[in-house]
Chain A
Amino acid sequence: MASVAMDMLRAASDWLTLAFDAPSAKAVVFGVNIGGHLFVEGILFVVIIFLLSQKSYKPPKRPLTKKEIDELCDEWVPEPLIPKIGEEMKHEPPVLESAAGPHAIVNGKEVLNFASANYLGLLGHEKLLESCTKSLEKYGVGSCGPRGFYGTIDVHLDCEARIAKFLGTPDSILYSYGLSTMFSAIPAFCKKGDVIVADEGVHWGIQNGLQLSRSTIVYFKHNDMESLRKTLEKITQENKRAEKVRRYIVVEAVYQNSGQISPLDEIVRLKEKYRFRVLLDESNSLGVLGSSGRGLTERYKVPVEKIDIITAAMGHALATEGGFCTGSARVIDHQRLSSSGYVFSASLPPYLASAAITAIDVVEENPDLITKLKENIALLWKGLSGVQGLQIVSDPESPILFLRLKKSTGSSKDDLQLLEVIADHVLKEESVFVVTSKRSTLDKCNLPVGIRLFISAGHSESDLARAAEALKKVAASVLHDEE
């Protein structure tokens, strides 16, 4: 054994000397003397390349045989498509037999409706019905195509221009559904690697958009500016490349999940300090806040161009459907090719765009509607003060009055059930239609649940008094042992 190795070693060394002495070893190529060691290095280099090109050692793989796969497939038992249906899943909402105006009909009985976000009472407005009818007669119902493929009807363009003019922005873009606005607009601008700072109380449409964007998401405490400041500070400090990545703050003007209002002046101050862009959802503030209904920017007297991207659903104060995004021409044009819900979906039915145009006209012509709404909010606030076991957590200017339990039962599911009982009694016994804030299992918002009252300019003084009395009475009877 040893001798064989010795032989081989000797042979190798002979080979080496030969290499050093070979005639070519003294060759001069382009003025470089190819000494023997260069030759050896050359060989070594080749060997290294050869070794590098080999795959590292792996235990040989034995793929599953066809029979084994068959068995695995046979054995596999999927979970059922949906979980078992529990009692709480069988809940059926009340069915309206009329339009969802301030007074509606449920089960053949007239009820006071506080479930529709018809803030300005435009639902059923004479002028809106007229423009819808005209539009339906002219264009039919659906647009039968996405905006890119002959689904752009002149009223869409008029509507976009009207919105931009109303809000004082350069341009705007229509979406065919309120919910799709945010979850399309956010991923159009935020990609992997970008940083988004969002309020923890944002509604599901925004959460979905955040998730689809695949950006780094950081949440700050609900409507807490100190928490926002710290978060921005931390991100700017930690991230050396912060200058290079795109940074956004995502907030709602009026939070659907709590009725709180974002302090926009403070947000703009922070945004400018840390150089973040702001995405603001004005779904529940458009037509409500500000002296002429132009929303949160008007309420805080912040120039609208300071907010980079504004979105809103039109299914609230404007009493139509769909949504829009508004901002600079660049922001809007980018969405026309890059926003999934805009590119890949049929456009808004033209009659709903006509309704939106008319609704904005009505708001501009009747600023007293906004005054009336403000009075109504104040009235209901006053009426509900001292309601037993419940507490108003919404902002005094918010058109959503949000009541939550003073003393939580400890689980939000039980809380919701308790609140459902109250809402149920109020509807059945007092004919006042109020609703709880239901949560999808997909919703990551963990703010406390509550009862929501959507106040409308269409409610009369006596309506509000009646609603407040009814809620107080039922809360007192259901929550009698709470205090």
Chain B
Amino acid sequence: MITIPYLTALTTYFSYGLLFAFGQFRDFFRKIFDWWQASNLQGYAPICLGLEDFYIRRLYLRIQDCFGRPISSPPDAWFDVVERVSNDNNKTLKRTTVINRCLNLGSYNYLGFAAADEYCTPRVIETLKKFSPSTCSTRVDGGTTTLHSELEEVVANFVGKPAAVVFGMGYVTNSAILPVLIGKGGLIISDSLNHNSIVNGARGSGATIRVFQHNTPSHLEKVLREQIADGQPRTHRPWKKIIVVVEGIYSMEGELCKLPEIVAICKKYKAYVYLDEAHSIGAVGKTGRGVCELLGVDTADIDIMMGTFTKSFGSCGGYIAGSMELIQYLKYTCPAHLYATSISPPAAQQIISSIKVILGEDGSSRGAQKLAKIRENSNFFRSELQKMGFEVLGDNDSPVMPIMLYNPAKIPAFSRECLKQQVAVVTVAFPATPLLLARARICISAAHTREDLVRALEVISRVGDLVGIKYFPAEPNKQQLDDGRVKLE
């Protein structure tokens, strides 16, 4: 739950209203202009539609340069951002050869495995030579190599489940698994802020979808009770099964899932738990085993554990871990296992090696150091930001920390000013967040040194003063804050 000051809400609405009005105004003239010229559609309906297209043309294009900035180096603690120029008011951007070395606060490089690593990289290259970049085949045909079997074993061990299956993309893992597990007559209860891959998987399954308030166990319980008592819509037959889908760390909120409470409720009401650990696996927990370890939940209580390798492990792909039977069934019928090219062997090796480093099986203590470092870095950075008076979301220990911007004009201002001072941050706006709740998002890495963070804090503080996003007084006084604010979900 985010509270937003009245004045900010008002000015934010006003800014969007103005942008909208101007956009409509320009569209009006464009329409007249188009009408003048003969239509060139020749009997086809336009390929891009109304409002979505409007948003892109009139709002997004103005600040296009804040997104999709190309880089020309690995996404390590520091990276090379390629400068782009536009000759047509930001409509198109052209790459230049000018490079800007920036501090990277945007990539999901939690453990710093994105760049070359003394243990992983030689093994990855060796694997490339032995197995080639691809198998050109699906897992059930010719795409299972000894490396894939090893990877599944390593992953199952690491997350603490009897078995696992891996796929070449995290998004596909979610969107292709949910339809296998549940269909018509089933119910998916999903956190309101779940990732798009989960939403797509749920839609593709044909099951009924209900949403509970973000990270609110009491509301989950209410929805569960209502749904079990009501049964399926119209026929009122009992539900075949209920799957509750939550994420370990919410990537746009930085919040940890209230897993112990949610698991207790699911147990009570016999619902299955599906946990997406995309951002938490490897990044939190004493030995990097994710939110279960951090919050003291027994992995046996989680029916389906999902995660991705794109973040902490610096590779690509996703996994599902669960009981032996579950994995056997998925391997028998999951479309992503049957029809998709198996995960690229060098990427598989990167995952195996990075897990070995995390567990200290490489014979060094680098893994433990990385884990200590990311925790220390995250907590330091978060508390410093809060002290400065920024409105920072999320929980302690989480390496993701959004800073609220609210006003649409502050999105490009914050992003561009930071970049000018060699700090690369990510800004997120509608549609990834609700219209009012635009934010900047910081992702902390174990690769950041203390000097890097101090430097980043200085820049963010300066830019924060400039664009006016220190919504709290420095060293906030809690009592005073709760007055005069609108509650928003």
Contacts and interface: CB of A to CB of B under 8 A. Distances in A.
B427 to A, nearest CB: 9
Given A145-B108, A243-B43, A319-B134, A177 B203 contact: no
B405 to A, nearest CB: 15
A435 B242 CA distance: 36
A351 B134 CA distance: 11
A244 B339 contact: no
Contact of A144 (B140, B311, B345): B311
Interface string A172-204: 000011111001000001010000000000011
Contacts of A243: 43, 45
Most buried by B among A98, A116, A243, A245: A116
Interface string A274-291: 010100000000000000
A2 to B, nearest CB: 49
A382 interface: no
B49 interface: yes
Nearest to A84: B325
Interface in B29-88: 42-49, 52-53, 56, 60, 67-76, 79, 81-82
Given A76-B270, A152-B69, A440-B338, A141 B171 contact: no
A142 interface: yes
Contacts of B137: 100, 115-117, 454
B128 A83 contact: no
Contacts of B188: none
Nearest to B309: A142
A77 interface: yes
B106 interface: yes
B346 A104 contact: no
B124 A100 contact: no
A340 B56 contact: no
A388 interface: no
Interface stretch (B233-241, B366-374, B456-464, B467-475): B233-241
Contacts of A277: 44, 47
Most buried by A among B56, B75, B116, B176: B75
A416 B60 CA distance: 51
Interface string A426-453: 0000000101001111110000000000
Given A73-B225, A97-B145, A321-B168, A132 B128 contact: yes
Contacts of B344: 321, 349, 352
Contacts, number: 352
A311 interface: no
Contact of B143 (A100, A140, A203, A441): A100
A337 B54 CA distance: 12
B395 interface: no
B47 A246 contact: yes
A88 interface: yes
A122 to B, nearest CB: 9
B116 to A, nearest CB: 6
A129 B334 contact: no
A138 B134 CA distance: 19
A331 interface: yes
A454 to B, nearest CB: 8
A180 B197 CA distance: 11
A203 B138 CA distance: 13
A38 interface: no
Given A73-B225, A140-B116, A340-B200, A180 B171 contact: yes
Contacts of B48: 330, 334
A305 B115 CA distance: 40
A147 interface: yes
Interface of B: 42-49, 52-53, 56, 60, 67-76, 79, 81-82, 95, 104, 106-109, 113-117, 120-121, 124-125, 128-137, 139-146, 148-149, 168-172, 175-176, 179-181, 195-197, 200, 203-204, 224-225, 228-229, 238-242, 269-272, 303-304, 308-311, 313-316, 325-326, 328-329, 331-336, 338-341, 344-347, 350, 424, 426
13 contacts: A69-B228, A99-B135, A140-B113, A143-B114, A143-B310, A143-B316, A147-B68, A154-B71, A177-B169, A208-B176, A243-B43, A334-B53, A352-B344
Given A98-B145, A153-B70, 14 more contacts: A78-B240, A78-B272, A81-B181, A85-B329, A93-B141, A116-B141, A116-B143, A275-B44, A308-B47, A313-B341, A319-B133, A344-B195, A349-B344, A443-B335
